[in-house]
Amino acid sequence: MSLVGAYDLVIFDLDGVIYLIDKPIDGAAEAVERLRSSGTAIAYATNNASRRAADVADLLTGMGVSAAADEVLTSAGAAAAMLAERLPAGAPVLVVGAEALRAEVRDVGLVPVERLEDGPAAVVQGYGPDVGWRILAEASLAVRAGALWMATNTDRTLPSPRGPLPGNGSLVSVLRTALNRDPDVIVGKPAPALFKTAASLSHSTRPLAVGDRLDTDIEGAVGAGMDCLLVLTGVSGPADLLQAPPERRPTYVAADLSGLFGEAGAARIPAGADELGGWRLAPGKLAGSGTPVDALRLLAGVYWGGGTVQAGSDEARELLTGWGLPA
């Protein structure tokens, strides 16, 4: 049986898994269609609050990745729904972020505002490429005056073809520094709400989460009690995985989404193994040769047990050095 054959729903992160900013990742469209052909339900769960669900679905479709609006869960939509549960209809909310977040706030019967003088009952902060000092200053004043402070997510970076870029977490840190405290509520991953909602909407009893970030996607899936697959097409790299604490350790690791269709054992982290795919573990050393992802899975079992490894072959030395690890 393939890895994905044991699951009835696949919940995809977007940035770093399906696309990088505005370009699809190789094989993503094919993976989605293969899942649809097999009857596996699909959901997309993203911390990015700069687009609405329908816009995300249109973006994916334009990239050749099939998607419907009701398959998309965004932190912006979840944040607006949560605010509507806490505030009376028509309450003013100071919005820090993109137009998509303002639209979500309007749609739940609240009023987006931009100034302290508008008397905001809450501040909701999400990623927006045009967020600047002026709106951050108004948000700081509003929170000091007693407004609820809600962050859609706290991803420090966004993946891009040019390398990681500042994400909403970096902007949240501006207010955290100014206010000397944390947000009252953080909505998106690693909180489990998006994953649990996706599973509930699909009536799934055996969901699989797929992500590229250990600190959001994987931690969120672990917190939701779901199996999860880390793909190495986005933010988190090999060194991050080897150093991951228990709450950020995935069930499976694959180079890309093609790992969904291989044998489950070929992507699972082996416990106590000393040989895998041409790589061999001797006491304190990695020898042999093979694919980088096989070496990574073998080493994860060592590092997570508190051990370390040095190179026992030229291939291993090249690999470890490339990962920024002692060779």
Structure tokens at 169: 């977490």
Cα 21 from Cα 49, distance rounded (Å): 13
Q: Name the residue with tokens 């769960």.
A: 45
Tell me, letter by letter, the H, E, C secondary structure of 194-262. HHHHHHHHCCCCCEEEEECCHHHHHHHHHHCCCEEEEECCCCCCHHHHHCCCHHHCCCEEECCHHHHHC
Contact 124, 97 (CB under 8 A): yes
Name the strand (E) or helix (H) holding 118. Answer: none
Q: Is 13 a catalytic residue?
A: yes
Contact 3, 264 (CB under 8 A): yes
Nearest residue to 177 via CA among 143, 220, 228, 218? 143
Catalytic residue among 8, 13, 215, 240, which?
13
Q: Is 200 exposed, middle or buried (0-12, 13-18, 19+ CB in 10 A)?
A: exposed
Catalytic residue among 8, 15, 55, 182, which?
15
- Amino acid present at 199: A
Name the strand (E) or helix (H) holding 24. Answer: strand 23-24
Neighbouring residues of 271: CB distance < 8 A, sequence distance ≥ 6: 301
Q: Is 15 a catalytic residue?
A: yes
Peptide bond just before 326 cis, omega within 30 deg? no
Active-site positions?
Answer: 13, 15
